[in-house]
Chain A
Amino acid sequence: MSTAGPDFPELVPTARSMSPGDFAGKTFRSQSGVEARVQYGNKAFDKTMDLEYSNITEANAALIHDHYLACNGTLYYFNLLQKPKSGNETFHINDQSGSTSNRYSATPFGLKYRYAEPPQFNSVKTGRMSVTVKLIGVLDS
């Protein structure tokens, strides 16, 4: 089991994109084109969540930067609380439960979020920055 880092900062993103990942399996294709698929696992993995924060204050950008370091970069997993997942209240039903209707969450699907890569910080003007965060939901050992 990997180490847990602190919760991700409670910041509502400007834009968010998510891909639910895929199940482990292998596809075999014969010369005739007929395809057979073998499933190796019962959980989708490598769920991706990209969060964009445009023109946020330097203080909020610092929260993300420091959180990344507190998670030892891409090593520790962490929880996404409510605000990073807010905004699609029927797609993502109730953040407080472990239901699979919480589609932006990782835990209901047996996954844990960690940083997929270091976040990118762009300076916009004095006091304002834009940050891009890429997360990946992995099956934790």
Chain B
Amino acid sequence: MTYYSGKDGTLTYNGTVVAKVSNWSISATVDTLETTVLADSDRTYVPGLRTSSGSATIFYYDEAAKPLLERIIKTSTVSESDILVIKLGWDTKLIQGSCIITSAELSCAVGEVMQASIQFQFTGAPTGVTL
């Protein structure tokens, strides 16, 4: 039996480990399609489409966050070439899939270490899951 903590976590994009990650999270949901018909007394459903998305906060140490931020914060348009393979790992476990960076925030405040926050949306099914 093993507990895991933040020191076990990693965030990888296209095979490169991102440095100075403060936290990451992932959320997966499945739509429900209602199949209730007349005369039923309880609602019935079947699974619909799945959505997976996540977020991460990265300290702006050197250029640790740059490869992720520049997917949408840039002078050129965002295209399909900006789709990344993101792997969220902890110890030997992982969740991996193609992702689009949907939000990138960079904050700078007095008395605080500058950090970047990103949100990403999985496109398609995860390509690797080890829980």
Binding site for B on A (CB under 8 A): 12-16, 54-56, 86-88, 124-125, 128
Contacts and interface: CB of A to CB of B under 8 A. Distances in A.
Given A55-B46, A125-B49, A128-B46, A12 B33 contact: no
Nearest to B47: A125
A61 to B, nearest CB: 13
Interface of B: 33-39, 46, 48-49
B39 A87 contact: yes
A49 B96 CA distance: 50
Contact of A13 (B34, B38, B49): B38
**Chain A contact residues, majority secondary structure:** strand
Nearest to B39: A87
B38 A55 contact: no
A55 B45 CA distance: 9
A124 B33 contact: yes
A9 to B, nearest CB: 13
A-B pairs with the 6 shortest C-beta distances?
A87-B38, A87-B39, A12-B37, A55-B33, A55-B35, A86-B39
B33 A16 contact: no
Given A14-B37, A55-B33, A125-B49, 18 more contacts: A12-B38, A12-B39, A13-B38, A14-B35, A14-B36, A14-B38, A15-B38, A54-B33, A54-B35, A56-B35, A86-B38, A86-B39, A87-B37, A87-B38, A87-B39, A88-B38, A124-B33, A128-B48
Contacts of A88: 38
